[in-house]
Every structure is written in C-alpha cells, then in structure tokens.
Amino acid sequence: SPDIELLSETPSRVIVVVKDGTKLQSLCEKFQLPVKKLGITGGDALIVNGSKISIAELRKAHTETIPKLFGRN
C-alpha cells in the first residue's frame, strides 16, 4: 500500500535523501535493486496526500515527545 511505502523502513527497505536522484537510480539499476521516488524535499512544510504539517511542528514533535513521555519537560 502507499502508506507502507512512505513510512516503512525494514532491513530490505530504507528511505534516503539524495541531491541527485539520477545517480541513485543508475546505481540501483546496475545492481538490479528496486527504487521508487517518494517525493521532493525543501520548503517549510511536509505535504503528504494534501495534508500539510509545518517543519516547526514536526521538529517540536521530534524533540519533545520522548522527554514528555518520561516526565522530562
């Protein structure tokens, strides 16, 4: 499913960010590895399927969630 492709990382599936996607595409073709472009990075928000979340909100969730869970505000 598209959600699994977007959010799942397993020993055989990873998400990478590269400056030049054509180089990665060529390398994957050379070694017969499947590769799929999920999106483009940049800007001030993450937009997935029409839903927009600001980078500031994502940063806050990333840095504050675990400390809050363990009572370390």
Please tell me the predicted confidence (pLDDT) of residue 47: 84
Whether 16 shows a pLDDT value over 90: the answer reads no
Predicted structure pTM score: 0.51
DSSP letters, 2-43, are HHHHHH--BTTB-----S-HHHHHHHHHHTT----------S
Structure tokens at 3: 């959600």
Amino acid at 54: S
The gap from C-alpha 68 to its chain's centroid, in whole angstroms, comes to: 24
